[in-house]
Structure 1
Amino acid sequence: MDTAFKDNLDQYISKLQRIAIRLNGVRGAHPLRIGREGAAIAMRSTRLFLSYCALVNLFRRNIELVSEPFCVALVIVPVGWQLTDVKEAAKIIFKDEKVRFYIHPEAKSRRGWDIDPAEELIFGKLIIFATEGSPVHEDFELAATVRDRLRTCDIRHLRALAKLRGCGDITDNQAALIAEQPSERMEAIFRIGQPARRAALRLTELGPKRPVTEEVKHLDLSKGFGEAGDWAQELKKDLREWRDGKLPWSEVDKGCLLYGPPGTGKTRFAAALAAECDMHLEATSISRWQSSKDGHLGDLLKAMYRSFANAKEKAPCLLFLDEFDSIGDRSKFVSSYADYSIQVVNGLLECIDGIEGREGVVVVGACNHPERIDPALVRSGRLEKHIRFPLPDANARAQILAFHLPSLADEPLLKEIAAKLPGTSGADLERLSRDARRVARLERRSVTIDDVRGKIAPLPVLNDDYQLQIAIHESGHALIAHTLKVGRVERVEIFDNVENFATDVDAHGITVTDQPKVPFKTKSQVMNRIAMLLAGAAAEDLFYGDRSTTASGTNNSDFAKATEIAVEMVTRWGFGKSPYYLPGSLNTSNPGELWRDHRLRTEVSEILQTEYARARDMLSGLKQTLIAFATELARHKRLQGDQLEGLWPEPSAPGGYGGRKC
């Protein structure tokens, strides 16, 4: 061992001894001897020794206050360190002295605090241990004469531990890496007689992968992200002014919820946002907290507090919480695990609010189903900004492909390919690009547009018969929308996949209506909307005596939308058989629960059957108009403006359907 290093280390150990003697001198007890008792502590437990050293430093900083006969010391323990270890170390320091040690609970119960501070505050000298980031009872905060954070894993402490356990020397960088580990790992790192340097090297190899790749760093947030890209630029500007001291943190957005279908780039956007704003990225998820240790409530809450504590230590930081909808809604938890889940939500609320604030930390959550999240989490002051991540449109798809295939960015055919891929997510396009690059790589050449084409499944070509059936279907939508004044029909299209391709939605046809913005809706207007959605299938039924799968099968299909509206009519708007509304009485985001509610299922079924029959009956009175409309649509593939005006039926008296204009 280097002589200078050995002398410095011996001096530091002697300093620890003098501090211990000073503390013991205050209370008249026998002095601690690091050579014997300290070494014994180190051999007994690495966690206990490091807790002991950290406490000696903390009490040294606050020696005058701690020496008073009446003292309440609130010791904030970093997440990842066991409070029981710290308490045990404090008992060693204050042996033979009348001191009350108290471990503070890490969360409130459903009813509030289950503790009575008065029972502890009657003691003259009270030391309270609380986990960093967790709430502390207000009475303890008021009574505290000392409030300090425990600084565990000081490099000097780690080196002293390594010497006492015969683990050799460690460098500053290795010590810094070890200091980031939870207390449970210390025993494995400082095994008696084994080199700690070797464990540090393995930690380097097993360390977390960089959350922000070079590709993400160069992602242009101004392209393909719409509203999210605009918010990113605003946040970047606000953070720059906050760093310069020109803007208080209270004026910066505290959090944002990104929601939308899977694969639309929410996670990639968050990583790129952190890089764009020059923030540290702390990425985790609800399920990762749940998987911590045995998944008990205490384990989950510790993991949660650790994430927020790490983010605060590394501020400015973007704390990204994936799968945010899995946190749930307190009003919808089933009784069997409601208490557990409610405390998880309450713990997250405490972390997001933070009694000490979370200056420099922006929380971004990502999910697929925002309606499943407890409203308290997404109100103003918390995750207050809500941004929808839809599936990319034709322009965004072209930009995504160009990003992943930069050598083809100026290729006009790339935009044509992107336009013919409606319904594909950003993740789908990334995979397509990767597959195309793999083909070129295997052949040891640059990627070409043909490589991209070759990885796209060809679309089915619709012959005249199929085109006519699609035309009948879309004509039904258009005629009922016009007749019932559901909205102004802007255009009607069908796609043959030869000359006409879908670009907006993954469908064989589309009817686009301009929905008027109204302050409220009547029951009749809502029923008309359902009738319009069911009119496509009703038109097929009327013309062919049968209907196809084009009206159902996906979450965005006609039947799915009509069913969703019918459920809301009964459960939300009081448009069912009874005008009741009881918030939270039914989890409308759980299809299984809706299916098991026989009364609701019966009412929804009656609404859908009634409106389907009404649409079919109306189209029966407009059958000649329907045929003429569908014939024109099949011929032109797209009808709009004046083309539509010549096909609408004549206005008629209420209840009648009229005939087609000549």
Structure 2
Amino acid sequence: MDTAFKDNLDQYINKLQRIAIRLNGVRGAHPLRIGREGAAIAMRSARLFLSYCALVSLVRRNIELISEPFCVALVIIPVGWQLTDVKEAAKIILKDEKVRFYIHPETKSRRGWDIDPAEELIFGKLIIFATEGSPVHEDFELAATMRDRLRTCDVRHLRALAKLRGCGDISDNQAALIAEQPSERMEAIFRIGQPACRAALRLTELGPLRPVAEEVKHLDLSKGFGEAGDWAQELKKDLQDWRDGKLPWSDVDKGCLLYGPPGTGKTRFAAALAAECGMHLEATSISRWQSSKDGHLGDMLKAMYKAFAAARENTPCLLFLDEFDSIGDRSKFVSSYADYSIQIVNGLLECLDGIEGREGVVVVGACNHPERIDPALVRSGRLEKHIHFPLPDAQGRAQILGFHLPSLAEHPSLKEIAAKLPGKSGADLERLSRDARRVARRERRSVTIDDVRGKVEPLPILSEGYQLRVSIHEAGHALIAHALLVGHVERVEIFDNSENFATDIDAHGLTVMRYPSVPFQTRWEMLNRITFHLAGAAAEEVVYSDRSTAASGAGQSDFAIATEIAVEMVTRWGFGKSPYYLPGSINTSNPGELWRDHRLRAEVGEILQTEYARARDMLSGLKQTLVAFATELARHKRLQGDQLEKLWPVPSAPGDTEARNANRH
């Protein structure tokens, strides 16, 4: 910039206002009047405006080098400044030039760079933006014809921005303090029409507002993880023995499949497992492989091989593969893309136990639907250990909340809150903790138990009418289970959400069963199980001539379980109208495919309708007992042991006759 421009602030502001017009994309034959419209146009973004000003200065300092037809410019951006803003500003300045802009990654993995500089260096003009202090690929350093540091937040730029936005004057000290702030804070400091000096004063009073890195917290794998925690401790010991030369790698578990509903903490467990065992963590997913380059077969296989190669280079290593069920099953691929998918599965099999081996690499896969995975991938020697990750119970929920809220971990009310959150996943509880911390942070104080309570949505309290209806529903389940000898009814409960709360599952009522352990099931026993699951809705129809949504609407609802049993009867056990069984002929993990199979749908529908009618007919004959049972349940909220024995129908009841007939089949 020339001397006169430096010495004259008003002239400098005029210059920036002309820049602002370009920033806003205004096009026209006549320039806008500065006083009336210039400020509004300039204030599209405070941090973009400052990036633009700093980049203009950098370009002027290096104009001769940047003007060369072949130029590789390495621009170093101060920490705390967004590289994307600088890149956008560069596009505005050099919009008429054929220039390639590239944001350099801030870190590299232990195995090296994941980028290929040759893909960028083919361009004649290349501008690379890198964060100060972060490593830069050696090839970019070698090819650079220009290297300069971006001087953001020049005092003159800040004062000009303040005047353009109507933020008043700022002193040298205030400007220096503002210049130390990260770019994200500029919008708050230079709010249109608000004094920037006030924001600077608050910065002085509050001290540094940069987030302070919290002490790294580690999950205690010995608590709340059940079978997974036990396996983690065994693996840790085996790995240590392998390191010490006391145990051959052939005796160490090669892999594990973690499966369960979303949000239960499978990914977090894998990361904690790697830390606990002192292993390098290499985390990826099937979709990340798929999105590599153009997603062609060669690209995906290359990404897959690269992940396993990286794991072998960093042994001992835990290779975590998320979304493992999306790899599929070779027997269920549709013809349109079967070749592609089969080669992906074959490639993964080769990686898991190929000729190169994988000593020192433990593979952990995570998924929601294990039944969709090719059986060859989860047999012994591959992902041989299978661990179910269910939704956490009351104790597990308390431990998760305590992990995310360590200052409240020993607070007695935290367990009470956790007990009233059935059905919540680990991710749900993490979000609840985050919301509670946000409330405390905004008020600049420590988080309290009331902050947690305030973020828990209150459960609807059930009126006496609703309680009786739920009692009718659960009584239907219990009576049919007892009559058909489905299993032993241990207890029956309802929850009013006032004095009684569900702690195991998110439900208004519960019938807890203990099923007998049998070597196999008969057709009639499977039908009895279906009748039992449909009995709750049937009981409502018997008493109210209508049924509610209590029996459906979720993956583990009464109707869902009954349907799954009926589908298995037809497709797996040959209990349909024809005793055929052809492995792989039906993809039971694809609900859409099942729905389109008209023959299967008809057979399953007939089974469900027949068993629903049977449950309704049995309960119609037991209506007096049904109502008496429900009345007692509504009064006591929980029935078990001797309380139940007094409520079962006498031997002459129609249900007993039905049970005797059932057991003769």
Asked whether 1:575 is paired with 2:507, we answer no
* Cα shift readout 1:161-184 (whole Å, capped 9, x = no counterpart): xxxxxxxxxxxxx99989823573
Alignment-derived partner of residue 232 in structure 2: 232
Alignment-derived partner of residue 325 in structure 2: 325
Q: Structure 1 residues 635, 565: closer, same or farther in 2, change over 3 A?
A: same
Contact 1:189 1:200 in 2 (8 A): no
C-alpha separation in 2, matches of 1:193 and 1:630:
80
Equivalent position SS for 1:432? helix
Instruction: Tell me how far 1:226 sits from its aligned partner.
Output: 0.8
Please list every run of 5 or more consecutive structure 1 residues that lacks an aligned counterpart in the other structure. 1-173, 206-212
Alignment-derived partner of residue 205 in structure 2: none
Contact 1:487 1:516 in 2 (8 A): yes
C-alpha separation in 2, matches of 1:393 and 1:181:
43
Contact 2:625 2:647 in 1 (8 A): yes
Q: Structure 1 residues 183, 400: closer, same or farther in 2, change over 3 A?
A: closer
Alignment-derived partner of residue 467 in structure 1: 467
Instruction: Tell me how far 1:445 sits from its aligned partner.
Output: 1.4
Instruction: Tell me how far 1:410 sits from its aligned partner.
Output: 1.3
Aligned-partner residue type, residue 605 of structure 1 = G
Contact 2:264 2:389 in 1 (8 A): yes
Instruction: Tell me how far 1:555 sits from its aligned partner.
Output: 0.4
Q: Structure 1 residues 200, 410: closer, same or farther in 2, change over 3 A?
A: closer
Asked whether 1:297 is paired with 2:297, we answer yes
Percent identity, please.
Answer: 79
Equivalent position SS for 1:338? helix
Q: Structure 1 residues 226, 189: closer, same or farther in 2, change over 3 A?
A: farther
Instruction: Tell me how far 1:215 sits from its aligned partner.
Output: 7.2
Aligned residue pair count: 481
Alignment-derived partner of residue 53 in structure 1: none
Aligned-partner residue type, residue 556 of structure 1 = Q
C-alpha separation in 2, matches of 1:228 and 1:658:
43
Alignment-derived partner of residue 343 in structure 2: 343
Larger displacement relative to structure 2 (183-192 or 532-541): 183-192
Alignment-derived partner of residue 614 in structure 1: 614
C-alpha separation in 1, matches of 2:509 and 2:524:
27
Alignment-derived partner of residue 180 in structure 1: 112
The equivalences for 1:191-210 within 5 A come to none
Q: Structure 1 residues 247, 649: closer, same or farther in 2, change over 3 A?
A: same
Asked whether 1:513 is paired with 2:513, we answer yes
Alignment-derived partner of residue 126 in structure 1: none
TM-score, scaled relative to structure 1: 0.69
The equivalences for 1:116-155 within 5 A come to none
Alignment-derived partner of residue 624 in structure 1: 624
Aligned-partner residue type, residue 416 of structure 2 = E
Contact 2:329 2:373 in 1 (8 A): yes
Q: Structure 1 residues 306, 495: closer, same or farther in 2, change over 3 A?
A: same
* Cα shift readout 1:143-191 (whole Å, capped 9, x = no counterpart): xxxxxxxxxxxxxxxxxxxxxxxxxxxxxxx999898235732464799
Equivalent position SS for 2:493? strand
Alignment-derived partner of residue 522 in structure 1: 522
Contact 2:258 2:365 in 1 (8 A): yes
Contact 1:323 1:365 in 2 (8 A): yes
* Cα shift readout 1:279-333 (whole Å, capped 9, x = no counterpart): 0000001111111111110010000000000000001000000000000000000
Contact 1:216 1:272 in 2 (8 A): no
C-alpha separation in 1, matches of 2:523 and 2:109:
64
Q: Structure 1 residues 405, 197: closer, same or farther in 2, change over 3 A?
A: closer
* Cα shift readout 1:374-418 (whole Å, capped 9, x = no counterpart): 000000000000000000000100111111111111111111110
* Cα shift readout 1:426-464 (whole Å, capped 9, x = no counterpart): 000010011011111111111111111110111001011
Asked whether 1:262 is paired with 2:262, we answer yes
Aligned-partner residue type, residue 498 of structure 2 = V
Alignment-derived partner of residue 545 in structure 2: 545
Asked whether 1:601 is paired with 2:601, we answer yes
Alignment-derived partner of residue 47 in structure 1: none
Alignment-derived partner of residue 451 in structure 2: 451
Equivalent position SS for 1:493? strand
* Cα shift readout 1:513-561 (whole Å, capped 9, x = no counterpart): 1001100000010000000000000000000000000000000100000
Q: Structure 1 residues 358, 496: closer, same or farther in 2, change over 3 A?
A: same
C-alpha separation in 1, matches of 2:419 and 2:352:
41
Q: Structure 1 residues 194, 556: closer, same or farther in 2, change over 3 A?
A: closer
Alignment-derived partner of residue 116 in structure 1: none
Contact 1:285 1:323 in 2 (8 A): yes
Aligned-partner residue type, residue 332 of structure 1 = K
Q: Structure 1 residues 330, 215: closer, same or farther in 2, change over 3 A?
A: farther
Contact 1:216 1:271 in 2 (8 A): no
* Cα shift readout 1:350-389 (whole Å, capped 9, x = no counterpart): 0000202100000000000000000000000000000000
Alignment-derived partner of residue 587 in structure 1: 587
Contact 2:483 2:655 in 1 (8 A): no
Aligned-partner residue type, residue 265 of structure 1 = G
Contact 1:284 1:320 in 2 (8 A): yes
Q: Structure 1 residues 588, 215: closer, same or farther in 2, change over 3 A?
A: farther
Q: Structure 1 residues 422, 653: closer, same or farther in 2, change over 3 A?
A: closer
Contact 1:224 1:395 in 2 (8 A): yes
Equivalent position SS for 1:274? helix
Asked whether 1:400 is paired with 2:400, we answer yes
Instruction: Tell me how far 1:652 sits from its aligned partner.
Output: 3.8
Contact 1:217 1:275 in 2 (8 A): no
C-alpha separation in 2, matches of 1:464 and 1:232:
48
Instruction: Tell me how far 1:193 sits from its aligned partner.
Output: 11
Equivalent position SS for 2:117? helix
Asked whether 1:439 is paired with 2:371, we answer no
Alignment-derived partner of residue 477 in structure 2: 477
Equivalent position SS for 1:492? strand
Equivalent position SS for 2:256? strand
Equivalent position SS for 1:184? coil
Q: Structure 1 residues 197, 500: closer, same or farther in 2, change over 3 A?
A: closer
Alignment-derived partner of residue 361 in structure 1: 361
C-alpha separation in 2, matches of 1:435 and 1:261:
23
C-alpha separation in 2, matches of 1:317 and 1:549:
48
Please list every run of 5 or more consecutive structure 2 residues that lacks an aligned counterpart in the other structure. 1-105, 138-212, 660-665
Alignment-derived partner of residue 26 in structure 1: none
C-alpha separation in 1, matches of 2:342 and 2:544:
54
Larger displacement relative to structure 2 (230-239 or 646-655): 646-655
C-alpha separation in 1, matches of 2:616 and 2:481:
13
Alignment-derived partner of residue 427 in structure 1: 427
C-alpha separation in 2, matches of 1:263 and 1:215:
24
Aligned-partner residue type, residue 568 of structure 1 = E
